[in-house]
C-alpha cells in the first residue's frame, strides 16, 4: 500500500487543487483526534487519505475501503501531499509505471459489477476465486460469444489476469474484487449460465467465511438458468454450480447442503481431468492428493421462482434529506454520547464506527449489513445534503434494513 511518514502531523491548508485533484477538507475523528480523513476528489470520484498520528510519527495512506484503481491515482495524491510535507522520514512512493496509471476497461468496481450482472445481454458465467486465471481465461477463449466474470480478492491475481486479457485480445472477460457472497444475492433470477468455484479456501476454523453456504447456495440455484422440465436428459441444458476441491471435508459439507435442497440433481466425480489444470491442482496432483468434483444443477423452473432480495434504495429522505437542524443536533448528541450505536438485529446489524467533523460538515463511518458478509461505507454530510461517498452499499436486504435504521437514528430525538 502506498504511504509516507512524517515526524509530526502536517498542516495542509484546504481546499486546494493540484495535479487534477481537489483536496477538499480534513475531517477529524470526534472521539479520537489522532485519526483524520482528507477528502480528495477527481471528477466524480472521491476517496479518503487517512492521517494517523502515532508516537513519534504520522502515517499517510489511502483509507482502504475507499481505495480506487489504478493504484497510480493513490500514488499521485500521496506524492502531492508528501511534496508539501516537512520532516518526511520515509515513503514507498516510487514513480508510477505506465500500467499503474492505466485503468483497464475489464476491471469492474463493486458497483460496476453489480450493474454488469443486472444488464448483460449475452450468456454469463462467473468464476469465484480464479487464482492464476487459467481456467477462466480458457473458458473465455473457447466461448467468444459468451461473457465471463471473475471474482477475486487477491490483487496480484487480478493484475495477472488483466494482463492476459490484454495479451490475448479478449473482449468477453471481466474481473472484480467484489465479495461473491454479496453479488450472488443481487443476480436476477435465471440469468446466470454457470458458476465455478474451484479450490476455494476451506476455512475450517471460520466456516462462516466459506463461499459455499446455505445462503449462497440458495441464491446460486435461484440465479442459475433452470431447465424446462424435470427429465434427467435435459441436465445438459441446465445451469450448474461446479465445485472442485482437494479438501474432502469441504466437499462433504457442500454436498450435504446440496442434498438438503427440496430437489437436487448432482453429478459427482473423483480425480476427473479438466482440459486446463490450474497451478494449485498441479501442486495437489504432484502430492498425489485426490480431487473431488460436484456439479449441482439448477432445479426446474417451478423450483427456481424465488425472487432476488432487492427492495428499496439508499436515498436519504425526510429530515435527513433536508439536513434539518434536528439531524445535525442528533449527530452532535451521538458525538457527545459515551459510545456510538452498535445495533444487532436478527437479520442484520448497524455499527456506527466513527464520526468525523470539519466545521459544520460530517463524515459517518459505518459497518453494516449481513453478519457474514458485512459492508463498509461512509456517509458524507456536506453543503446541506447527505449521501454515501462515491456509491452506496450494495443493495442486499440486510444493507437496506441497516440503512433504514440509520435514518431512524438520525431522525430520532433521543440518542440510542
Complete DSSP assignment for 56-100: TEEEEEE-GGG--SSHHHHHHHHHHHHHT-SSEEEE--PPPPHHH
Do residues 19 and 76 make contact, with C-beta atoms less than 8 angstroms apart? yes
Backbone phi, psi, residue 50, to 5°: -90, 130
State how far the Cα of 409 lies from the Cα of 319, in Å rounded to an integer: 11
**Model pLDDT, residue 302:** 44
Q: Do 81 and 135 reside in the same domain of the chain?
A: no
Nearest to 310, CA basis, from 124, 113, 127, 118: 118
- Using only C-alpha atoms, the chain has a radius of gyration, in whole angstroms, of 24
- Distance from CA of residue 275 to its chain's centroid? 31
Q: Do 111 and 252 reside in the same domain of the chain?
A: yes
**Model pLDDT, residue 319:** 64
Question: What is the full per-residue pLDDT of the chain (416 aa) written as tens digits?
Answer: 899 999 999 999 999 999 999 999 999 999 999 999 999 999 889 999 999 999 999 999 999 999 887 788 999 999 999 999 999 999 998 877 666 566 789 999 999 999 999 999 999 999 999 998 999 999 999 999 999 999 998 888 998 999 999 999 999 999 999 999 999 999 999 999 999 999 999 999 999 889 999 999 999 999 999 866 555 545 556 799 999 999 999 999 999 999 999 888 999 999 998 888 877 788 877 888 899 999 999 987 644 544 444 556 898 876 676 667 888 999 999 999 999 999 999 999 999 999 999 999 999 999 999 988 899 999 999 888 899 998 899 999 999 999 999 999 998 866 55
State how far the Cα of 303 lies from the Cα of 262, in Å rounded to an integer: 8
Q: Which residue has the cell 446455505?
A: 214
Nine cell digits for residue 258 = 446440496
Q: Do 295 and 322 reside in the same domain of the chain?
A: no
- Considering 304, 330, 345, which residue would you say is the last residue of a domain? 304
Answer yes or no: is 312 within a domain.
no
Nearest to 224, CA basis, from 287, 297, 292, 319: 297
Q: Do 225 and 147 reside in the same domain of the chain?
A: yes
Q: Do 91 and 113 reside in the same domain of the chain?
A: no
**Model pLDDT, residue 253:** 96
Please count the structural domains in the chain: 3
State how far the Cα of 68 lies from the Cα of 236, in Å rounded to an integer: 41
State how far the Cα of 394 lies from the Cα of 313, in Å rounded to an integer: 10
- Considering 79, 101, 123, which residue would you say is the last residue of a domain? 101
State how far the Cα of 146 lies from the Cα of 112, in Å rounded to an integer: 18
Q: Do 231 and 252 reside in the same domain of the chain?
A: yes
**What angle (nearest 5°) sits at the alpha carbon of residue 195, between those of residues 189 and 201?**
125
Q: Do 117 and 258 reside in the same domain of the chain?
A: yes
Do residues 186 and 369 make contact, with C-beta atoms less than 8 angstroms apart? no
Q: What is the span of the domain harbouring residue 21?
A: 3-101
Burial of 297 (0-12, 13-18, 19+ CB in 10 A): buried
pTM of the model: 0.86
State how far the Cα of 151 lies from the Cα of 180, in Å rounded to an integer: 7
**Cβ neighbours, 10 Å, residue 268:** 13
- DSSP single-letter state for residue 215: H
Q: Do 232 and 255 reside in the same domain of the chain?
A: yes
Q: Do 145 and 251 reside in the same domain of the chain?
A: yes
CA 248, 218, 260, 224 dihedral sign is: negative
State how far the Cα of 207 lies from the Cα of 181, in Å rounded to an integer: 13
Nearest to 247, CA basis, from 198, 294, 292: 292
Nearest to 347, CA basis, from 185, 222, 177: 185
Q: Which residue has the cell 505506465?
A: 98
**Cβ neighbours, 10 Å, residue 10:** 18
For 313, how many CA atoms within 13 A lie in the half-sphere containing its CB? 5
- Considering 271, 304, 337, which residue would you say is the last residue of a domain? 304
Which CA distances in Å does 404 have to 166, 170, 306, 311?
43, 42, 24, 12
State how far the Cα of 87 lies from the Cα of 36, in Å rounded to an integer: 19
Q: Do 136 and 241 reside in the same domain of the chain?
A: yes
Q: Do 161 and 289 reside in the same domain of the chain?
A: yes
Do residues 223 and 188 make contact, with C-beta atoms less than 8 angstroms apart? yes
Nearest to 22, CA basis, from 52, 46, 2: 46
Amino acid at each position: 500500500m502506498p504511504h509516507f511518514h512524517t515526524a509530526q502531523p502536517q498542516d495542509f491548508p484546504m481546499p486546494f487543487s493540484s495535479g487534477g485533484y481537489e483536496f477538499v477538507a480534513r475531517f477529524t475523528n470526534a472521539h479520537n483526534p489522532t485519526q483524520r480523513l482528507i477528502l480528495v476528489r477527481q471528477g466524480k470520484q472521491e476517496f479518503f487519505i487517512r492521517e494517523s498520528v502515532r508516537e513519534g510519527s504520522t502515517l499517510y495512506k489511502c483509507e482502504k475501503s475507499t481505495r480506487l484503481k489504478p493504484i497510480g491515482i493513490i500514488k499521485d495524491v500521496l506524492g502531492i501531499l508528501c511534496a508539501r510535507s516537512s520532516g518526511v522520514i520515509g515513503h514507498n512512493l516510487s514513480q508510477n509505471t505506465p500500467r499503474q496509471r492505466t485503468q483497464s476497461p475489464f476491471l469492474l468496481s463493486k458497483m460496476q459489477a453489480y450493474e454488469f450482472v443486472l444488464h448483460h445481454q449475452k450468456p454469463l458465467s462467473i468464476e469465484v476465486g480464479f487464482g492464476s486465471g487459467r481456467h477462466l481465461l480458457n473458458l473465455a477463449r473457447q466461448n467468444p460469444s459468451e461473457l465471463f466474470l471473475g471474482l477475486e480478492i487477491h490483487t496480484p491475481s487480478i493484475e495477472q489476469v488483466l494482463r492476459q486479457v490484454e495479451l490475448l485480445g479478449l473482449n468477453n472477460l471481466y474481473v472484480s474484487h467484489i465479495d461473491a457472497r454479496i453479488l450472488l444475492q443481487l443476480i436476477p433470477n435465471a440469468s446466470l449460465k454457470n458458476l465455478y468455484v474451484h479450490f476455494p479456501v476451506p476455512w475450517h476454523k471460520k466456516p462462516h467465511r466459506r463461499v459455499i453456504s446455505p445462503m449462497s447456495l440458495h441464491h446460486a440455484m435461484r440465479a442459475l438458468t433452470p431447465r424446462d422440465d424435470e427429465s434427467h436428459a435435459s441436465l445438459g441444458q441446465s445451469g450448474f454450480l461446479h465445485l472442485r476441491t482437494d479438501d474432502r471435508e469441504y466437499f462433504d459439507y457442500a454436498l450435504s447442503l446440496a442434498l438438503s435442497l427440496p430437489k437436487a440433481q448432482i453429478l459427482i466425480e473423483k480425480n476427473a481431468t479438466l482440459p486446463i489444470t490450474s497451478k494449485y491442482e498441479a501442486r495437489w496432483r504432484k502430492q498425489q492428493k485426490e480431487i473431488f468434483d460436484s456439479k449441482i444443477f439448477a432445479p426446474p423452473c417451478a423450483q427456481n421462482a424465488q425472487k432476488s432480495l432487492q427492495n428499496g434504495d439508499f436515498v436519504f429522505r425526510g429530515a435527513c434529506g433536508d439536513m434539518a437542524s434536528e439531524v445535525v443536533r442528533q449527530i452532535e448528541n451521538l458525538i457527545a454520547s459515551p459510545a456510538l450505536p452498535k445495533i444487532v438485529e436478527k437479520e442484520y446489524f448497524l455499527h456506527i464506527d466513527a464520526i468525523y467533523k470539519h466545521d459544520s460538515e460530517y463524515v459517518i463511518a459505518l459497518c453494516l449489513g449481513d453478519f457474514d458478509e458485512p459492508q463498509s461505507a461512509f456517509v458524507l454530510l456536506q453543503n446541506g445534503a447527505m449521501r454515501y461517498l462515491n456509491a452506496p452499499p450494495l443493495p442486499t436486504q440486510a444493507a437496506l434494513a441497516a440503512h433504514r435504521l440509520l435514518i431512524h437514528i438520525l431522525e430520532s430525538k433521543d440518542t440510542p
